[in-house]
Structure 1
């Protein structure tokens, strides 16, 4: 077994380029050809796993990404990639990438939604240089965070790109192989755009707008106000269940609600001014992970219910409610 893993690891080294991640970014990485020497520079080693990597294998041979190498970032480009011929491995065990990543692929923020058709995996989040120490601490607490940036400026602040924003999603994923658990970090970038359209619904005498254009919390609030409404107030479990069902029918990704503590950290209020008499925070939320998480949303833990706090600058879908 170990000899076979070693042999496959040597094959994997063919498209290896050891360059700084800061230079290549999440959008892609360069690859040395079969006859090229690896370029050794400071930083993590970047391995490109793509259809060409698999095409170089002999019949019946498989490609393995060894997660014991903590200074390696695997860039998986899945356009045309035969997932069934790629394994994730650590210790003496290995399993097909498609099998061990199935929970992630079925997640509302699946890497299969990545706009450039790829995602990255690493055993050490410090290998991704745009993550600050606060981001990594937030990841340890949240297991998932999102950061927004423009195509030429990977920063935490949102930048409009022709009415669209790039949002990079970072997940911890627990890989189980031969009863051994290894946590790895997966990152991929999606594009969220404006052009908001809203679906009107009525419940218990109130009108609701379920708006699928993704906006910051403040812009979403302004959109609601332009219709004489506020971001939704959830007064009890029955109303929340109805809102959740309608929202998830449109998208199982995140939705802004009106709850926020922008004025005073830790003191949450509703956008519409109603007293906070009911809450349904997920376990250990709100936690202001990384600082600056002042606005609440639904579906962070889909399909489990429960609210979460997020940076108000993120672009999410949103729900308005009449007074």
Structure 2
């Protein structure tokens, strides 16, 4: 989604280190991307692009730290994390102060959708979501509500298409990160791109005389529904807390990322129904969900891992899925 960004248009307040020639060289200024060099461009941004990589740290004097100022809204900072020592980087916010990057980003680094899983080994941090051309006004509004969204092939795409013979698509994850500096919360946006693939292996399990398939290939909700139907099954229906706990435990053992279930309001907004046709007698929405932020009509598990609670997502996203037999 972020295949190629514009070359440097301007250099603004990026380093809190003394702006000597040596410190500028240590960071390395370049146009950069979360995608590989051979991937085609989708859009450009009018922002300064700063690359921070292992060479940036290697050029520092012993004991010296690299301080990256995130207060400039027109700047995108690209972190190439292969061999990068986050313990020697501070995230600065102008005159407000700074925080250790390793500490500030630790919750995000340990998240199921960690930027350290990014395709191409890079992620981007910026103070302004408008720096991402793929994010429309609806996406930015959804980010304000959700604090995390995933998008495929830009805003408003009706359906993400396979990118290779392996049937993989790119999915860009956007996270707001709140960093407390001297009692003030500073919010920055982190984005990274992962590959999700449709080649499916399903693990069959049985519970209370029902068969379940935990399928690790990632499909849109429609394709997941069709895959279940081809097995004479439907996307999973959760009838009570005991069944949910069992499904959640098995799903999380395979992956702590998101899983499609059968609950959806595609036919009528706000009127949720199970793919199986069973009555909706039990729900466990996470507080504030469902909120239809960004046209979200399909239900899934694990958005808030390790906390329980369901979430609604755009049905076009490619996620793992769970099928269930009717008897």
**TM > 0.5 fold call:** yes
Distance 1:25 1:155 in 2: 22
Distance 1:193 1:226 in 2: 19
Query: What does the per-residue CA deviation read over 1:256-282, in whole Å, with 9 as the maximum and x for residues that have no partner?
Result: 000011111111110000011111111
Deviation at 1:128, TM superposition (A): 1.3
Within a 5 Å distance, the mapping from 1:64-75 to structure 2 comes to: 64-75=67-78
Query: Residue in 2 aligned with 1:253?
Result: 257
Within a 5 Å distance, the mapping from 1:111-190 to structure 2 comes to: 111-149=115-153, 156=157, 157-162=159-164, 163-190=167-194
Aligned match of 1:281 in 280, 285, 293?
285
Distance 2:322 2:258 in 1: 11
- Unpaired segments of 5 or more residues in structure 1? 30-40
Q: Contact 1:9–1:63 at 8 Å: present in 2 too?
A: no
Aligned match of 1:313 in 311, 316, 320?
316
Query: Residue in 2 aligned with 1:33?
Result: none
Distance 1:63 1:321 in 2: 52
Q: Contact 2:126–2:189 at 8 Å: present in 1 too?
A: yes
Query: Residue in 2 aligned with 1:7?
Result: 18
Q: Does 2:29 align with 1:16?
A: yes
Query: Residue in 2 aligned with 1:34?
Result: none
Q: Does 2:249 align with 1:236?
A: no
Q: Contact 2:52–2:77 at 8 Å: present in 1 too?
A: yes
Query: What does the per-residue CA deviation read over 1:157-179, in whole Å, with 9 as the maximum and x for residues that have no partner?
Result: 41201210110000011112333
Query: Residue in 2 aligned with 1:36?
Result: none
Query: What does the per-residue CA deviation read over 1:83-124, in whole Å, with 9 as the maximum and x for residues that have no partner?
Result: 222111123422221111000000000011111101001111
Q: Report runs of 4+ in structure 1 exceeding 4 Å deviation.
A: none
Q: Contact 1:208–1:321 at 8 Å: present in 2 too?
A: yes
Instruction: Indicate the RMSD between aligned Cα atoms, in angstroms.
Output: 2.2
Calculate the TM-score normalised by the size of structure 2: 0.86
Q: Does 2:62 align with 1:55?
A: no
Calculate the TM-score normalised by the size of structure 1: 0.87
| Cα gap change, 1:225 to 1:193, in 2 (>3 Å) | same
